[in-house]
Chain A
Amino acid sequence: MKSKTIKINCLARVEGEGALYIKVKDRTVVEVQLKIFEPPRFFEAFLRGRAFTEAPDLTARICGICPIAYQMSAVHAMEGALGAEVGGQLRALRRLIYCGEWIESHALHVYMLHAPDFLGYDDAIQMAKDHPEIVQRGLQLKKVGNEIMSLLGGREIHPINVRIGGFYKVPSRRELAPLAERLRWGRDAALETVRWTAGFTFQDFEQDYEFVALRHPSEYPFNEGRLVSNKGLDIAIEVYDDHFVEEQVEHSNALHSTLRGRGAYFVGPLARYNLNFDKLSPLAQEAARSAGLLPFCRNPFQGIIVRSVEILYACDEALRIIEEYEMPEKPAVEVHPRAATGYGCTEAPRGILYHRYRIDDNGIIEDAKIVPPTSQNQKTIESDLHQFVRKYISLPKEKLTWQCEQAIRNYDPCISCATHFLKLEIEHA
């Protein structure tokens, strides 16, 4: 009887702390555990008793990489509860700042965290010794995203300008103008990024996933839409809790989310792309086709190309918003508290992020529920590893371990988010 274990005690190039443990016995994978030992921070508990107006700034602190996602899900949930409508240019500015976060977060993942796996480097700094101009391009692309965040949000991490009802201050057309020039460079750099990543060698690995993403009648989703899947799900976000369940497992401080009666599902760029290809801008669609990507992609390793297509889309969309922008008269619509429950679900860079709040007549939060994208992908990541190790079991252990890490990074997991996650242990016992 031959068995082995693959262990990664501290998974690198992911946001937060996690480990992986895989046990193989007689060439059969007997156990896969994605362990999340990032300590719990109890956001849903301390939100109770806080004012409804505090939710965007408080929940932003769940994640320094995608604070806008938390702020957007929070403001939409609260506005839903209060019956406030935020439309026109204020709505457009929210899309614009979300474009900034996608560009920043995706460029970080594509260039700094994921590409080194495909090219055989430990990190982007090593990669920069052989490919300085590529790493520079990545950093500058990331910076374009951060410039949107800084101008519209006040700073890159934990922006201060987002509030329920809109913003504290809105920019003039003139203030937005310098961004347009940077975004035109960014759009060309993103196009190069799509071509560059399309040239990588990809594992032959496809699974029959259930992809879940928002879908909006007229646009690629950021803040609004119905939750849909490639296997028949089509629901309003208000009934999220009727369809998705969170379970606690012993090996993880992050709750696992599943689709009731159906099991694991897949959120993030690949899900959004597969369910919304027709809503991408013509330039992004054309770039995807030229890169050899079909409108429906089942290989999570190719997620790096899809992320690059989304950077391109975000630059294109940001440019459109800036071109059509007119400064609104007021930076925010007025909101008044009332006892109600509100639901928010927006597309964080890593996938759907669900918030639910119940507030009282004075706007004090009585109950909060937050389901981040990485919790939703956890089960799918474990199932990918199961299938992946089974398929590539004869690889040398060191190579297999690295490829397991890469399979995890396909999801750009954010462990800080999920505990409210990675170390790799493959045990060939």
Chain B
Amino acid sequence: MPERGKRKLAVWKFASCDGCQLSLLDCEDELLAIAGRIQIACFPEASRAVVKGPYDLSLVEGSITTADDVERIRKVRRASKYLVTIGACATAGGIQALRNFKDVKEFISIVYARPEYIRTLDKSTPITEHVKVDFELRGCPINKRQLVEVISAFLHGRKPNTPPHSVCIECKLRGTVCVMVAHGTPCLGPVTHAGCGAICPSYDRGCYGCYGPMETPNTSSLSHWWTHLGVKEDDIFRVFRGFNAYAEAFRKESETHEKQ
């Protein structure tokens, strides 16, 4: 049943692991308050009830990998006033975009004995390649505090406050000693989009780029520094070809380290 006076939220899933939409259910302290302010009108993972569109805000998780999904995302766009993509799959194609660099037929035959039953596209692509996207929230997975910020910004008609700087700034803000400078641990922090809160370095681990490239990253300089630290070409190649492999900056950098 539509609830009067409340704006309607819909959550959609394409090819993904469900982790980003789970972030909404992981807001244990905020969930009921959010549901008090906004009607969760379509969220199949959480409810068997579906309120018909149009929807004021659609959160889209996952990448486009099938012909049916190409059609479905267009329908979602038509039914949505604002469309926000959540996570690395929806914004960059996700880990399943590793197929984009290979022959998908070979991939199908490795996993399935009867390839003829499987219908899939050659490439896993971000939502923005198919429809207009109003805002992209980064991360594999997204940060739930940033998700609450996006929903709250939408309710108040303002732009979400999600800083575009690198993970390095987040380390400085939380006072984490630089793992690359102090311990010689290779870290993607200098080229990676902020949002996670710089978790990995605070656990004595280098950033592995799960939030994708920041604005104008200097990836080639970072690769040079990694080489200085003794990291092999193959490993530099693999780290850029990860959860955001199909994001332009990381894609290009991985290509320069690819064995011919």
Q: Which residues of A contact B (CB under 8 A)?
A: 10-17, 38-42, 44-46, 48, 50-51, 54, 57-58, 61-65, 67, 108, 112-113, 122-126, 128, 132, 135-136, 139-140, 142-143, 146, 154-158, 160-161, 168-169, 247-248, 250, 253, 255, 331, 402, 405, 414, 416, 420
| One of B35, B108, B238 near A125 (C-beta < 8 A) | B35
Q: A62 to B17, Cβ gap below 8 A?
A: yes
B117: A residues at CB distance < 8 A: 248, 250
Query: What residue in chain A is nearest B210 (Cβ atoms)?
Result: A158
Interface size on B (CB < 8 Å)?
62
Q: B110 to A61, Cβ gap below 8 A?
A: no
Known contacts A13-B45, A16-B18, A157-B26; A40 and B13 CB within 8 A of each other: no
Beta-carbon contacts of B188-232 to A below 8 Å, as 1s and 0s?
000000001001101111001010000000000000000000000
Q: A253 to B44, Cβ gap below 8 A?
A: no
A10: B residues at CB distance < 8 A: 44
B96 within 8 A of A: yes
Q: How far is the CB of B79 from chain A (nearest CB, A)?
A: 15
Given A135-B32, A168-B205, 13 more pairs with CB closer than 8 A: A11-B44, A13-B46, A41-B65, A42-B96, A42-B98, A61-B17, A62-B17, A123-B43, A125-B40, A136-B32, A155-B199, A168-B203, A248-B113
Q: A42 to B99, Cβ gap below 8 A?
A: yes
A108: B residues at CB distance < 8 A: 22, 25
Beta-carbon contacts of B13-31 to A below 8 Å, as 1s and 0s?
1111111101101101101
**Number of interchain pairs (Cβ within 8 Å):** 177
| One of A64, A123, A125 near B20 (C-beta < 8 A) | A64
Q: How far is the CB of A365 from chain B (nearest CB, A)?
A: 11
Beta-carbon contacts of B86-117 to A below 8 Å, as 1s and 0s?
00000000111011001010111011111001
| One of A44, A58, A126, A157 near B49 (C-beta < 8 A) | A126
B48 within 8 A of A: yes
The 5 sampled A-B contact pairs (Cβ below 8 Å) are A12-B45, A45-B111, A125-B46, A416-B18, A420-B111
Q: A61 to B65, Cβ gap below 8 A?
A: no
| One of A14, A39, A44 near B66 (C-beta < 8 A) | A39
A414: B residues at CB distance < 8 A: 18
Q: A154 to B15, Cβ gap below 8 A?
A: no
Q: B19 to A123, Cβ gap below 8 A?
A: no
Q: How far is the CB of B76 from chain A (nearest CB, A)?
A: 13
B69 within 8 A of A: yes
A48: B residues at CB distance < 8 A: 110
Q: Which residues of B contact A (CB under 8 A)?
A: 13-20, 22-23, 25-26, 28-29, 31-32, 35, 40, 43-49, 65-66, 69, 94-96, 98-99, 102, 104, 106-108, 110-114, 117-118, 120, 124, 140-141, 144, 196, 199-200, 202-205, 208, 210, 235, 238, 243
Known contacts A46-B99, A248-B117; A63 and B49 CB within 8 A of each other: no
Query: What residue in chain B is nearest A63 (Cβ atoms)?
Result: B17
| One of B17, B46, B96, B196 near A112 (C-beta < 8 A) | B46
Known contacts A123-B49, A125-B46, A160-B205; A143 and B243 CB within 8 A of each other: no
Q: A42 to B203, Cβ gap below 8 A?
A: no
In the assembled complex, the Cα of A139 lies from the Cα of B24 at a distance in Å of 12
Q: B238 to A50, Cβ gap below 8 A?
A: yes
In the assembled complex, the Cα of A331 lies from the Cα of B203 at a distance in Å of 11
Q: How far is the CB of A189 from chain B (nearest CB, A)?
A: 13
| One of A13, A45, A169 near B48 (C-beta < 8 A) | A13
B199: A residues at CB distance < 8 A: 154-155, 160
A135: B residues at CB distance < 8 A: 32
Q: A41 to B96, Cβ gap below 8 A?
A: yes
Known contacts A13-B47, A63-B17, A157-B141; A112 and B108 CB within 8 A of each other: no
